[in-house]
A and B are shown apart, each in its own frame.
Chain A
Amino acid sequence: VTKPAGREELLARAFVSLADTLVDDYDIIDLLDRLVGYSVELLAATAAGLMLADARGQLRLVASTTETADFLEVMQLQAEEGPCVDCFSTGTAVSAPDLTSASAAQRWPRFTAIISGRQTYASAHALPLRLRDQTLGSLNLFHPAPGALPAADLTLGQALADVATIGILQERAIRRGEVVNEQLQTALTNRTIIEQAKGVLAEHFQLDMDHAFELLRGYARPRQLRLAELARELVTRQLDPGELISPRQKPGGKPTK
């Protein structure tokens, strides 16, 4: 899996994996988590985050490639101002090829101020998760250098956003529009459990949140467990956090048990 691959091969692998997930009974957070991972690899981005709107129309981060406090804050702000919220409200792709430009600063003063203070990202692209006339959320890509994504990349990014929409829909949604909302609600609720489980692991192993999430994901994936289900077991103490690490691999931090 770690063997270097050309983009075409990577692309094929991504869609095969996503398609595989879709035919099985799957966890939506897990699917979206894979999807943001592929979008970063395929589109040479530094970071990606996927936001969904809750029942009150407020955007919430559901999956991201990095869970650092820094990135979470950037996404939190994006719920109020920035390419992401503009993409959501218009239902169209929004490109910010140069976040240091005067036009970007004029359009999103608070967002660009935060971004320029950090100097991590120079450009951002937001692609809508569209369903008929409804926008469910957006896929947000961040690049370290300024520049607009080529049209082919935007098309590919939109295809990934569409896969996310399909994942949220499930087959039943084609019959009943309301299921979309059930699924959306489930994704948002599951995210809360996952955040709590990250806290459990961070405290138990004295890890930062980023590594706590990697540990959660690293345990769930090879065992084909649902992230939210694993998180639920940790939060409700049905599963001891120590189980996530085999005796020989325990990290430097001292386990409490």
Chain B
Amino acid sequence: LAIAAGDPDDERGLARQICLACVAGLDIDGASLSLLTTTASRQTLWASDPVAELLEDLQFSLNEGACIQAASSGVPVLVPDLAEGVEVARWPVFAAALAERTEIRAVFALPLQWGATNLGVLDLYRRLPGELSRSQWRDALATAEIATLLMLGLHTDPRRNQVETLGNDHTDGQLHDGGAGASGWLDSLSGGRAEVHQATGMVLVQLGVTSTEALARLRAHAFAHQRLLIDVARDVVDRTLVFTKDDK
């Protein structure tokens, strides 16, 4: 994935790849990925087709629907059959609009959730009702998780801020954990590396910033000192490394 450089089109490129992978690999008809779903500044990064785009537009203009609920609750919302009364009752206006304007019968909304932070939602739809099989569901969840980590990686990429001073030294950055493209980045945030999350909590207090910003500062430190994120996190937890507001 070419996600190393810092221009905003990268998010779209990433969203496109995630959506295309879902359409190709899962028993669905379309996919879309939207950012900042719980806030006013919403943005559909990519939609696989006009129907998927309409699905997003309807939810945003009505301010209700599976995707909105997934973003605000942080929990996947699965609607295998929109014609079922119980499901429709959750979002009557949205369900009515979908029935009137589209042939969508099933919607699966997966939040891109990192701790308390919602980064966006991956929406999948199908014209035929029915649940995803267990293996497809696992694939969908795994895709959403990877999308979350890659998106978080983009938002906290140390090279985004340091590109001017460091020049185009991308090959170097990919050798260690500070780089967004390095697989070490995925490893240190997935699979229960508790220390990274604990250190994030400590740094957010030390600097008075959000959890995402705290993670960005941890990564920037790892990048600048050519160290692994997990090692930097352990130093913070052991209190051998303290971030102060003057650090840059």
- Residue numbers of A with Cβ under 8 A of B are 54-61, 69, 72, 76, 79, 134, 176-178, 181-182, 185-186, 189, 191-193, 195-204, 209, 231-232, 235-236, 241, 256
Contacts and interface: CB of A to CB of B under 8 A. Distances in A.
Interface residues of B, number: 36
Is the contact region of chain A dominated by helix, strand, or loop, or is it mixed? helix
Contact of A199 (B75, B80, B197): B197
Contacts of B2: none
A84 B76 CA distance: 28
Nearest to A231: B116
Given A176-B78, A186-B74, 18 more contacts: A54-B141, A55-B139, A55-B145, A59-B192, A60-B191, A178-B78, A178-B131, A181-B137, A186-B75, A189-B113, A191-B192, A192-B197, A198-B198, A198-B201, A199-B237, A200-B205, A235-B204, A235-B211
A244 B79 CA distance: 39
A144 B214 CA distance: 39
A61 B194 contact: yes
B49 to A, nearest CB: 24
A16 B84 CA distance: 37
B72 interface: no
Given A182-B78, A199-B199, A204-B205, A55 B194 contact: no
Interface in B115-161: 115-116, 131-132, 134, 137-139, 141-142, 145
In the A-B complex, list the 8 residue pairs whose CB atoms are closest, starting with the nearest: A199-B201, A195-B197, A55-B141, A60-B192, A196-B201, A203-B202, A203-B205, A199-B198
B17 interface: no
A189 B139 CA distance: 17
Contacts of B139: 55
Contact of A196 (B142, B145, B191, B197): B197
A182 B201 contact: no
Contacts of A236: 116, 211
B237 A193 contact: no
A110 to B, nearest CB: 16
Given A54-B145, A60-B191, A176-B131, A196 B113 contact: no
Nearest to B215: A196
B102 interface: no
A23 to B, nearest CB: 21
B206 interface: yes
A56 B145 contact: yes
Contact of A55 (B138, B201, B206): B138
Nearest to B132: A178
A199 B116 contact: no
B198 A209 contact: yes
15 contacts: A56-B145, A58-B192, A69-B195, A79-B192, A134-B134, A178-B80, A185-B141, A186-B74, A186-B75, A189-B74, A193-B115, A195-B198, A196-B211, A200-B202, A203-B205
Nearest to B242: A203
Nearest to B243: A203
A205 to B, nearest CB: 10
B88 to A, nearest CB: 16
A235 B115 contact: yes
A189 B111 CA distance: 11
Contacts of A201: 201
A195 B201 contact: yes
A177 B131 contact: yes
Interface string B179-202: 000000000001111110111111
Nearest to B192: A60
Contacts of A176: 78, 80, 131
B114 interface: yes
B132 to A, nearest CB: 7
A235 B202 CA distance: 10
Contact of A189 (B115, B134, B200): B115
